[in-house]
Amino acid sequence: MSSRLTMSNGTEIPPQDVDSTLFRALREPMYVCDDHPEARGDHEVVVYNEDREYVVNVDVGHCSCPAQMYHHGPSEPCKHRIRAELARGDREIPEWVCLDAVDDQLRRRLEVDR
């Protein structure tokens, strides 16, 4: 897979021209689990990324990952929060993104077909 996102017209967009957190949320393999025992209620999900799991509360905008705690402010979501929002349909994949560049699991979950 290329390290670039592609616009729907085929034009490649270098990662530095895309918010890097959004770029990683769209591209990296992650699994969002709505019915994990650690997810309390409809407002929490567990996001698996590599061999780690993080609890994301989409209502209050919190993730248990170190990046959220140390590098992002409350209004600046980490990649796990963005991925949870995308997977739940709370955030849309930007129209300019070529779906071939999006992680397969996210595309399947959303059953996106543009």
Mean pLDDT is lowest, of 29-33, 47-51, 82-86, for: 47-51
pTM to 2 decimals?
0.79
112 band by pLDDT with thresholds 50, 70 and 90: low
Q: Structurally, how many domains does the chain consist of?
A: 1
**What domain range includes position 74?**
5-110
Residues paired with residue 44 on neighbouring β-strands, in sequence order: 57
**In this model, does residue 32 exceed pLDDT 90?**
yes
Question: 9-37 burial, b if ≥16 CB within 10 A, otherwise e?
Answer: eeeebeeeebeebbbbbbbeebebeeeee
